[in-house]
Structure 1
Amino acid sequence: MSIRDAALSHSATYFDAGGFARELAALVAVPSESQDPRGGPHLMDYLTGHMVPMLEEMGFVWRIHDNPVTGAGPLLTAERIEDPSALTVLTYGHGDVVRAQEGQWRAGLAPFTLTEEGDRLYGRGAADNKGQHLVNLRAFSALIAAQGKLGFNAKILIEMGEEAGSPGLKQFCAEQRDLLKSDVLIASDGPRLSPERPTIFTGSRGGVTFDLLVDLRDGAHHSGNFGGLIADPSIILAHALATITDARGQILIPEWRPDSLTPRIREVLSVLPPVEAGITLDPDWGEESLTPAERVFGWNSFAVLAMKSGVPEAPVNAIAGHARATCQLRYVVGTDPDDIVPALRRHLAARGFGAVQVIAADRGTFPATRLDPDHPWVRFTARSLEQTTGFAPHLLPNLGGSLPNDCFAEVLALPTIWVPHSYAGCNQHAPNEHVLKPLMRQALLGMTGVFADIAVGKAPA
């Protein structure tokens, strides 16, 4: 039996005997909410109580690091160096989760209890991201079980603050370049395009969040006595927002329209299946000349995340003194990130909206990244996944969402390969989060095959 077949057999047995579900249940049981202060004590417990024993059993040497940002979650690094001259793979995951949203899960489910119903495993973090990095770690262990070694070097980075914007991660990677030095990042986060077929993406859209604020006066004033005499901040804000896009959401700020939707990127996107969203999509929304895939994976999108003026839950007959909108631009490579907010300020000023303040967020932003879809590591991973699963993977130039890929692509200067193990309907960040057992089994086998192919020398030199 080949090393590859032996490792695949080990992974299949582990999954089919319930090993994956048991270990995922233990990880889900840790209430590691990084967005809620009550989760703070559990962030370290996830690492020391669960990651460390698993890594020690696999022969990894580990370290836990304080976050460079005071008060932010800890980070864990681990390595198994079998030959200093051999190829080194870095993988990444995050053990923190979004808020549990207790009381909003349907009857019979609880966020920190893994519940199996048919082909679904429910629990907070099952999809994002505990189940995903568990797959990759157990793919490593299958290869070790098959031949007593990996056959290459491996490094692991687990952070505990991704859901809070990965505070300190970029600085940590910069300070620990030597510790994290590798040849490639192979990691997993986000959803596949379809549950049945693997997906590869090589970067992510960036995200910039900012507030638009119209602050005209203290307090509210009677709408009868002062209507027609004092400016309404809500109306000013609404008109300012209406200059950013047209009525179907097409971006009107020239600097926000990327130049990176090349013929090759369009070719890659043209073969993708329709986006499976679990909700009804609006065909008449977004850039009219683009396909749906081009709009979400190859273009920028502007959204108003929240708006407030006055007291919406208890309105009174008064003109508010101020109005605020929290907005976001999701952007791809080909957009100058340093000019996003300045371009907006210039745009609004040129149209007479000097009263509208643009206040940039001080955290939670990720730059856009993208690896050439024809890169040798992309081609290698696609071939390996197809050999194992029988499906040619869907290839995305970047994820539609944002994640801290710049830490690896830019700070560590690595080719970045992401193989997500979730799907669009997993309820990520929502009540009833879950993973699909058939998908996770296929993912475990697929990653086992990728690492086995690296071990036998099929990876790019």
Structure 2
Amino acid sequence: MIPAQLRRKAEEFVDSGAFFAELAAMVAYPTESTRPEGGVAVKAYLDEILTPALVGLGCSVRTYDNPDPRGGPFLVGRRVESPALPTLLCYGHADVVDGQAGRWSEGRDPWTLTADTTADGERWYGRGAADNKGQHLVNLAALRLLLAEQGRLGFNLTFLFETGEEIGSPGLAEFAAAHRAELRADVLIASDGPRVDAATPTLFLGARGGVQLALDVNLRPDSYHSGNWGGILRNPATTLAGAITTLVDGQGRIRVPELLPPEIPDAVRQSLTGITVAASPGDPTPDEDWGDLTLTAAERLYAWNTLEVLSLGAADVDRPVNAIPGRARAVLQLRYVAGTDVSRAGEILTEHLVRHGYPMVEATVVGHFPAARTPLDDPWVTWAKSALEQVSPGPVTVLPNIGGSLPHAVFTDTLALPALWLPHSYPGCLQHAPDEHLLAATAREGLTLATTLFHTLGNPTPTHPLPGRPQLGRVPLPRRARRL
């Protein structure tokens, strides 16, 4: 059990305003990886914020160039207390999405952290407050509190920061593969993404993947009068709309069997029993008639695939003229769970469209990020859940994965690690929109949870031993890690 004085210090760090002040300094750096000029702020953030934070934890720190020219640098901090101790790998990303200045409510500046009290508690507004600066600050602060309290962590620490997560983590997998020895660990514990809802402490074990698909119906270079040519010239917009309905119907159900996952595993289905989605204040109400209604809402979100139309257009939709357009385009995204084979997604769509009478629709894969999942029965999952429930106000929800995306596969597939995510945000935090915010109450509870988890890692007991390790003495790394 975490010492009472350490828990009080975690709570006081938030209650005193120290957490807010530190987060405000982080948010002030416009580390937009979506803009070339954001690279200057990214470098300053690494040099002026993260490097001193890691040095303060007794880490040796090194910055690495990205092997992919599209991505920014990587920062790695390492603290080795003893080769006999377990090694924890932590992760965070320094970059944020576009600040969208001028679109925030009440004249808020995205680079100035501001507090506001609403019906659901105090909110801290600022770009990166939830994604991901506030979340990696929770973990840095928890490690700092633990080190100050006991003069040691009780484990070895490697902290990896990337600077391009918001643009798809270019180069991260290649970097991890080239630095396996430096990143070797027993477990990854990181924080990103949302809890299942604002009030429920959550562990999630993976992320859905995504395949970005472009559909293009390019029939002719010119537009022709709809009265003089309507009925004898194929309309690309009508054609595209019809083609899309053969892929996903008007109720959001995928109509291409090859794009569906295998049957939901029993362990995944059981883990989602009783979970309510969209349970936080301000969340939209799920549409009861949308998606595969043989599945629960939680199963549709966390255990199934969806095909979403992200954009759709022809001609000028705001200023239409009486003409048949020559071209129509759409971008779709397949969100898919681990176990789905997407290696032929482009070919599958093309073959399906031809079979349904749409050979004139060109389907192209324009982007992809993989799905991955740590097994629900991994011993580290049971260990972490039990540790968190020492201080959690109620049961900790364990999700097989979130509905969104993270570079989870880099840790499970490239580094062969069990990877656990302890999020400190919630689905309604608006992390990619104006008015992104972190809930003060979640930050306070999250710091207590993270401090407890790290304390338990560094102080194993006979009743709460570490997975795969005896109480004392050096032992080989788990089999998965030895393969590195």
One fold, TM greater than 0.5? yes
Q: Which moved more, 1:271-280 or 1:64-73?
A: 271-280
What displacement does 1:147 show?
Answer: 1.0
For 2:169, the equivalent position in structure 1 comes to 166
Q: How does 1:7-22 map to 2 (within 5 A)?
A: 7-22=6-21
Residue of structure 1 in register with 2:234 after alignment: 231
With the length of structure 2 as denominator, give the TM-score of the two structures: 0.92
Judged with a 3 Å threshold, the aligned counterparts in structure 2 of structure 1 residues 347 and 368 are, in CA distance, closer, same or farther, namely same
Match of 1:103 in 2: 102
Compute the displacement of 1:303 (Å).
0.5
Aligned pair partner of 1:323 in 322, 328, 332: 328
State the partner residue of 1:424.
Answer: 427
**Would you say 1:131 and 2:134 are equivalent positions?**
yes
Mapping 1:268-283, distance limit 5 Å: 268-276=271-279, 278-283=283-288
Alignment match, 1:367: 370
Does the 8 Å contact 1:7/1:145 carry over to 2? no
Matched residue, 1:74: 73
* Offset from partner CA, 1:57-83 (integer Å, 9 cap, x none): 111111111111114211111110111
Q: Which residue of 1 aligns with 2:145?
A: 142
Change (3 A) 1:292 1:101: same
**Could you say which residue in structure 1 is the equivalent of 2:477?**
none
Aligned to 1:396: 399
Q: After superposition, where does 1:129-208 map in structure 2 within 5 Å?
A: 129-208=132-211
Q: Secondary structure at the match of 1:389?
A: coil
- For the pair 1:460 / 2:467, whether they are aligned, the reply is yes
Equivalent residue letter for 1:48: D
1:378 is matched with 381
Aligned residues: percent identity? Answer: 45
Cα offset, 1:343, TM superposition: 1.6
Distance 2:5 2:174 in 1: 40
Which residue type is aligned with residue 287 of structure 1?
D
CA contact (8 A) 1:258 1:335 kept: yes
2:278–2:284 CA contact under 8 A, matched in 1: no
Q: Distance in 2 between matches of 1:108 and 1:150?
A: 43
1: distance between equivalents of 2:214 and 2:94?
30
Separation (CA, whole Å) in 2 of partners of 1:380 and 1:217: 61
Structure 1 residue aligned with 2:473: none
Partner of 2:301: 296
Note the residue ranges of structure 1 that are not aligned, 5 or more in a row. Answer: none
The gaps in structure 2 that reach 5 residues or longer are 469-484
Indicate the larger mover: 374-383 or 12-21.
12-21
Hey, what's the Cα distance between the residues in 1 that align with 2:70 and 2:249?
42
TM-score, normalised by the number of residues in structure 1: 0.97
State the SS of the aligned residue for 2:106: coil
Q: For the Cα contact (< 8 Å) 1:260–1:333, is it kept in 2?
A: no
Question: Paired residue for 2:350?
Answer: 345
CA distance in 1, matches of 2:30, 2:157: 28
The structural deviation recorded for 1:459 is: 2.5
The answer to whether the 8 A contact 1:3-1:146 is kept is no
Tell me, in whole angstroms, the C-alpha distance in 1 between the residues paired with 2:200 and 2:358: 48
Correspondence for 1:414 among 410, 414, 417: 417
Aligned residues of 2:70 and 2:170 also touching (Cα < 8 A): no
Alignment check: 8 A CA contact 1:4 1:452 kept: no
Deviation of 1:229 (Å): 2.2
| Separation of aligned partners in 2, 1:421 and 1:224 | 58
CA contact (8 A) 1:197 1:394 kept: yes
Moved more, 291-300 or 32-41: 32-41
The RMSD of aligned alpha carbons is 1.4
Aligned counterparts of 2:309 and 2:438: Cα–Cα separation in 1: 30
Q: Which of 288, 291, 296 is 1:286 aligned to?
A: 291
CA distance in 2, matches of 1:48, 1:409: 29
SS at match of 2:386: helix
CA distance in 2, matches of 1:344, 1:398: 26
2:170 and 2:436 map into 1 onto residues whose CA distance is 24
TM-superposed CA distance for 1:50, in Å, is 0.4
Distance in 1 between residues matched to 2:148 and 2:342, nearest whole Å: 46
The aligned amino acid for 1:135 is V
Give a deviation string over 1:241-294, Cα, whole Å, max 9, x none: 010122211111111111141222111101213433611211000001001000
- Give a deviation string over 1:83-102, Cα, whole Å, max 9, x none: 12311110111111111111
Letter in 2 for 1:459: L
Contact 1:10 1:145 in 2 (8 A): no
**Letter paired with 2:65:** D
Partner of 1:62: 61
For the 8 Å contact 2:197–2:277, the answer to whether it is kept is no
Question: How many residues in Structure 1 have an aligned counterpart in Structure 2?
Answer: 458
Q: Deviation string for 1:315-366 (max 9, x for gaps)?
A: 11211111100000000012102022222122112112111111111x4x32
* Paired letter, 2:227: G
Note the C-alpha offset of 1:3: 6.5
Residue 16 of structure 2 aligns with an amino acid whose one-letter code is A
CA distance in 1, matches of 2:293, 2:179: 45
1:9, CA displacement in angstroms? 3.3
Q: Structure 2 counterpart of 1:63, which letter?
A: R
Paired with 1:73 and 1:83, the residues of 2 have a C-alpha distance of 32
Offset, 1:380 = 1.0
**Structure 1 Cα separation of the partners of residues 276 and 163 of structure 2:** 34
Contact 1:33 1:97 in 2 (8 A): yes
**8 Å CA contact retained: 2:259, 2:342:** no
The structural deviation recorded for 1:14 is 2.1
Q: Which residue of 1 aligns with 2:480?
A: none
Once residues 322 and 189 of structure 2 are traced to their aligned partners in structure 1, the CA distance between those partners, rounded to angstroms, is: 58
Contact 1:276-1:424 within 8 A present in 2 as well: no
- Find the residue that maps to 2:390 and give its secondary structure: helix
CA shift, 1:374, in A, is 2.1
Is 1:254 aligned to 2:257, yes or no? yes
Structure 1 runs, 4 residues or longer, greater than 6 Å off: none
